[in-house]
Amino acid sequence: MQQFINITLSGLVEGMIYAAFALALVLIWRSTRIVNFAQGAMAAATAFIALALIDAGQSYWVALIVALVSGFVLGAIVERVIIRPVEGGPELNAVIVTLGLFVAIQALIAIVFGSAFQSFPTPFGVRGFEVGDTTIALTPTSLYIIGSVLITMALLVALFRFTRVGLAMRASAFGQEVARLLGVRVGRMLTLGWALAAVVGSLSGLLIAGGEFIYPAYMDSLIVFGFVAAVLGGLDSPVGAIVGGLLLGLALSYVSGYLPRGSALVNVAALVILMVVLLVRPGGLFASSVARRA
């Protein structure tokens, strides 16, 4: 029983991180119809900036805020300078550009910060809570992760539903021409979309690093699982991203824990789950109808 609870809880926490990353992909998809493969590398870059600050004696929170801000700036710059020229062009070109960005940023991190493992702090404890006389796989740090992702999602939903900027962003995403006619500065909205997505991506990068360690390629597996989670949920839906992330995290944790030599099957399981879902619902779990409302 304890084993089941712990496998479930660790899957949930892992899933929350997938969800955060998926959320960032969804944001960019909604604003520019591009899947950003450089998301992970951009997030890693901000994590290294945060670590440099912590090494210089700053507190975790200062470093976190600076990292998120630098994520915002990085996202905006990337959209303006690199993505803008290929926006509206052949769809594959944008994919290749983000792939190029991914490779280049990761290499740059290694050149600037070195490729060694570096420990990354978490502001909260890493010992599991005790319930009765057993310890469960829920730590103050995992509560921090879950809380941060939920708050971020709530803020995003609020932004899109209740603010003028959010409305303008949605308008730009769904009909650029119409939005322009209505006086929305579409270009700015696209930049804002990328910048916000980079902030969310950066947050997921810092959350997964917390209490563990980082190196230039540490976000690689998250790119895959985050993308799978986003597709699972239906790329248009923030709620879908969260649900997709949690489902994937849980499923992979069970596969890893209960199948013999399950750890080797995790990637295969992700493939099977995604294929099954897409065969039933080619647009993901939360396809179109839900997405339009969100």
**How many other CB atoms sit within 10 Å of the CB of residue 155?**
12
Please report, as residue ranges, which positions from 146 to 185 form the binding site for another protein (by CB under 8 A). Answer: 174-175
* Residue (133 or 162) nearer to another protein, CB: 133
Q: In degrees rounded to 5, what are phi and psi of residue 250? A: -65, -50
Binding residue for another protein, selected from 48, 113, 160, 227, defined by CB under 8 A: 227
Candidate list 19, 53, 192, 231; residue touching another protein; CB under 8 A: 231
Q: How far apart are CA 186 and CA 177, in angstroms?
A: 9
241 near another protein, judged by CB under 8 A: no
- Binding residue for another protein, selected from 39, 46, 139, 191, defined by CB under 8 A: 139
Q: Report the nearest approach of another protein to the CB of residue 119 (Å).
A: 4
Q: Exactly one of 178, 264, 289, 292 binds another protein (CB under 8 A); which one?
A: 264
- Residues 26 to 55: which contact another protein by CB under 8 A? 29, 33-35, 37, 54
Nearer to another protein, 155 or 224 (CB): 224
Tokens of residue 145, six digits: 């992760």
Distance in angstroms (rounded) separating the CA atoms of residues 157 and 167: 11
The pattern of x and - marking residues 2 through 21 that bind another protein according to CB under 8 A reads xx--xx--xx--x-------
**CA angle (147, 219, 193) in 5-degree steps:** 65
**Binding another protein by CB under 8 A: which of 19, 45, 189, 228?**
228
Residues in the interface with another protein (CB under 8 A) total 102
Q: Is 58 in the site for another protein (CB under 8 A)?
A: no
In the complex, least distance from residue 154 CB atom to another protein, rounded to whole angstroms: 25
CB of residue 45 to another protein, shortest distance in Å: 13
Q: Which is nearer to another protein, 137 or 196 (CB)?
A: 137
The footprint of another protein on residues 269-288 (CB under 8 A) is 269-272, 274-275, 278-279, 282-284
- Which one of residues 216, 238, 240, 245 is an interface residue with another protein (CB under 8 A)? 216
Classify the C-alpha dihedral 277-283-284-290 as positive or negative: negative
Judged by beta carbon, residue 163 or residue 228, the one nearer another protein is 228
By CB under 8 A, the residues from 99 to 128 that bind another protein are 99-108, 110-111, 114-128
Find the part of the chain contacting another protein (CB under 8 A) among 134-142, 151-159, 161-169, 177-185.
Answer: 134-142
Least distance in angstroms from the C-beta of 218 to another protein: 8
Can you tell me which of 52, 65, 266, 294 binds another protein, judged by CB under 8 A? Answer: 266
Non-local (6+) Cβ contacts of 68 within 8 A are 46, 199, 202, 203
**Amino acid letter at 81?**
V
Amino acid at 99: L
Which residue pairs, CB below 8 angstroms and at least 24 apart, start in 6-10? 6/136, 6/137, 7/137, 7/253, 7/254, 7/256, 7/257, 7/258, 8/250, 8/253, 8/254, 9/136, 9/137, 9/138, 9/142, 10/137, 10/253
